[in-house]
Amino acid sequence: MVGQSRKWMILAASVWIQAFTGTNLDFSSYSSDLKSVLGISQVQLNNLSMASDMGKAFGWCSGVCLKYLPLWVVIFLAAFMGFLGFGLQWLVIQGHISLPYSLVILLSLLAGCSISWFNTVCYVLCINNFPANRPLALSLSISFNGVTAALYKLIVNAINSTDSTLYLLLNAIMPLIASIGILALVLQQPPPQALSGDAIHRESSVFLHLVILAACTGVYLLVLEIESVTSSASTLGAILFLILLLITTRIFCTQEWAQRTENSSIELQGTSFNSVDLGDLDIRQKLVEIEASSSPLIRSSGNAYDPEENRSCCDQKFFKDRLSVLGEEHSVRLLIHRLDFWLYYLAYFCGGTIGIVYGNNLGQIAQSLGYGSGISSFVYLYSACSFFGRLLSAIPDLLGDNMYYPRTGWLVLGLVPTPIAFLLLVSSGSQAALRTATAFIGLSSGFIVTAAVSMTAELFGPVSTGVNHNILITNIPLGSLLYGLLAALLYQRNIRSSNLLVLMDGSAVCIGRQCYSETFAWWSFISMFGVASGYLLFLRTRAVYSLERNRNWMQYP
């Protein structure tokens, strides 16, 4: 029982890893300095950002390594990749060493691989230890990846708020320190154990308390930003919230162990819970038969359909070959032939990814609008709102059947704030508009990035999640290249056509709303297309979600 309770400590370890390894979120904090030191153009700076995102395309390598190497070895491989990738860039920006631009790109790629490897480790820890509440564990863990930039800003303010290069140094050393700190917890992983219905319910209740605690952490970080608190005590307060999470999980471990010990005889007598009564099977089978005969939810082809009986020829073609059941395992070959997958891919590509690219360009955007002195503040806001967005992805699982809505429907809702934010930036270049848009985009992208992990497992099978999700996130480097290149080319064009030009250490900087206004217009149109793709995915999958809900209701009335 004690070994089983250790899974909560594993969850705390995963949270700590995520909290200090979201190092891609603070790129905008030092990108202007990096551009100046290297003497590169905006297009070349975009290539560095794209190289970091390209590292995520190699996340499958970590999955392969986990098949042959212990988990703690993979953790330290990720930590040392980040240490080299970010550490050498810090030496370059400090002027201690000189490296060619091509090698700096390789360092960015290595740093991006580090982030992806850490994410894979956390996915494995959550999936292996919380199979019954996998989406909740993933949402809670991944959400803390969004607070990294906020935590690092607090640390930088406590050391030297004027030195933005400290972000690179923290990116290099903090993940390594965190890896050493959680090593003992990772080495004590409990063996997998099946849970009864009551145990699953208790586990969900614990997650609810942890999500509330996580939300309090996010509120604390936002209050620090609103009140412009920069003291060392504020940094310690943020760390104390992470320690409190660790203590809270320890308390739940003790309570769970005591409760299981007290009720062990009851649990032994209740082992028949897992047995299946033949009458229940008959009832469930009858339900499916009734559904199949009364409405075209199930056809002989095995595909799920909407309740509407009369559909046009175009509708029939659109609804052809839809998912027939949630959680069905998909091979790579089957996956790439699914229209549902490509709608999902486009929704992510035109929604979550475009938000990530906005975050990478946030430093230049703020600088062009005349708010260069507050770049770290905007990055902090984006990071904190990304955290809340990631945390909000747990809502479908916390609500359960009390307010059931297909996860693909939540995806559409999560995509909506992004086009609104870009339209706001097109219409106004004020600081209030920039802050509001940054908050909206942070919420939206954070929600999509985190919800996608659970959604991939739900739509295309949990066993194949590692491979299938890595195929999905190939859209991130692709989007980083295309969207970032679009923004950089328009930026460079406005430099040549604008009289408002500033030279900083040999690099040209565009000043004024015209630098990014056309980019925002394009991005708003693209993100609207993402909302449309997500809505089409929702239409194709809502029937199978309804069917799954009915099956769960019959199994757990």
Would 407 be classed as within a structural domain?
Answer: yes
Work out the average pLDDT over 248-255: 65
Distances (CA, A) of 405 to 255, 318, 401, 471, 543: 33, 22, 8, 26, 11
Rg over alpha carbons for the chain, rounded to the nearest Å, is 24
Q: Which segment, 111-120, 138-147, 168-177, 462-471, is predicted with the most confidence on average? A: 168-177
Quick: pLDDT tens for 114-147: 988 898 888 888 888 887 788 888 888 888 888 8
Distances (CA, A) of 423 to 362, 408, 419, 520: 16, 24, 6, 7
Please tell me the distance from the alpha carbon of residue 20 to that of residue 10, in angstroms, as a whole number: 16
Would 274 be classed as within a structural domain?
Answer: no
Residue 21, pLDDT > 60, answer yes
Supply 50's token pair: 């794209």
Would 538 be classed as within a structural domain?
Answer: yes
Please tell me the distance from the alpha carbon of residue 329 to that of residue 536, in angstroms, as a whole number: 22
Would 367 be classed as within a structural domain?
Answer: yes
pLDDT at residue 4, rounded to an integer: 55
Would 46 be classed as within a structural domain?
Answer: yes
Strand partners, 509: 502
The residue that leads in pLDDT, 273 or 430, is 430
**Last residue of a domain, which of 260, 280, 297?**
260
SS3 of residue 501 by DSSP = strand
Q: What is the 3-state secondary structure (H, E, C) of 474-493?
A: CHHHHHHHHHHHHHHHHHHH
Residues 246 and 360 reside in one and the same domain: no
pTM of the model: 0.79
Handedness of CA 18, 21, 22, 26 (dihedral sign): positive
pLDDT at residue 281, rounded to an integer: 40
Residues 338 and 205 reside in one and the same domain: no
Q: Are 75 and 121 in contact (CB under 8 A)?
A: yes
Quick: pLDDT tens for 377-419: 898 899 889 989 988 888 877 776 656 678 889 999 999 999 9
Domain count, the chain: 2
Residues 529 and 441 reside in one and the same domain: yes
- pLDDT grade, residue 228 (50/70/90)? low
Residues 233 and 332 reside in one and the same domain: no
Would 288 be classed as within a structural domain?
Answer: no
The residue that leads in pLDDT, 501 or 106, is 106
The CATH number for 463's domain is 1.20.1250.20
The residue that leads in pLDDT, 56 or 85, is 85
pLDDT at residue 506, rounded to an integer: 55
Running DSSP on this structure, what letter comes out for residue 274? G
Strand partners, 508: 503
Residue 502, pLDDT > 80, answer no
CA atoms lying within 13 Å on the CB side of residue 128: 19
- pLDDT grade, residue 231 (50/70/90)? low
Quick: pLDDT tens for 39-81: 888 888 888 888 888 887 777 788 778 878 888 999 999 999 9
Would 61 be classed as within a structural domain?
Answer: yes
Residue 557, pLDDT > 90, answer no
Work out the average pLDDT over 149-178: 89
Side chain identity at residue 233, one-letter code = A
Residues 521 and 389 reside in one and the same domain: yes
Work out the average pLDDT over 410-437: 94
Q: What is the 3-state secondary structure (H, E, C) of 131-150?
A: CCCHHHHHHHHHHHHHHHHH
Residues 250 and 341 reside in one and the same domain: no
pLDDT at residue 331, rounded to an integer: 81
Please tell me the distance from the alpha carbon of residue 232 to that of residue 161, in angstroms, as a whole number: 12
Side chain identity at residue 316, one-letter code = Q
Would 328 be classed as within a structural domain?
Answer: yes
Ranking 43-57, 432-446, 521-535 by mean pLDDT, the lowest is 43-57
Residue 180, pLDDT > 80, answer yes
- pLDDT grade, residue 280 (50/70/90)? very low
Torsion of CA 105, 108, 109, 111, to 10 degrees: 160
Residues 449 and 337 reside in one and the same domain: yes
Residues 253 and 326 reside in one and the same domain: no
Query: Domain of 57?
Result: 1-191+198-260
pLDDT at residue 464, rounded to an integer: 75
Please tell me the distance from the alpha carbon of residue 353 to that of residue 282, in angstroms, as a whole number: 46
pLDDT at residue 445, rounded to an integer: 93
**Last residue of a domain, which of 209, 225, 260?**
260
Residue 303, pLDDT > 60, answer no
- Phi and psi at 8, nearest 5°, equal -70, -35
CA 104, 367, 370: angle at the middle one, nearest 5? 170
**Last residue of a domain, which of 260, 279, 298?**
260
Work out the average pLDDT over 417-423: 96
Write the Ramachandran bin of 468: left for phi over 0, alpha for psi from -120 to 50, otherwise beta: alpha
Quick: pLDDT tens for 312-344: 666 666 667 777 777 778 787 888 888 889 999
pLDDT at residue 497, rounded to an integer: 67
SS3 of residue 524 by DSSP = helix
CB atoms inside a 10 Å sphere around CB 379: 29
pLDDT at residue 240, rounded to an integer: 81
Residues 22 and 117 reside in one and the same domain: yes
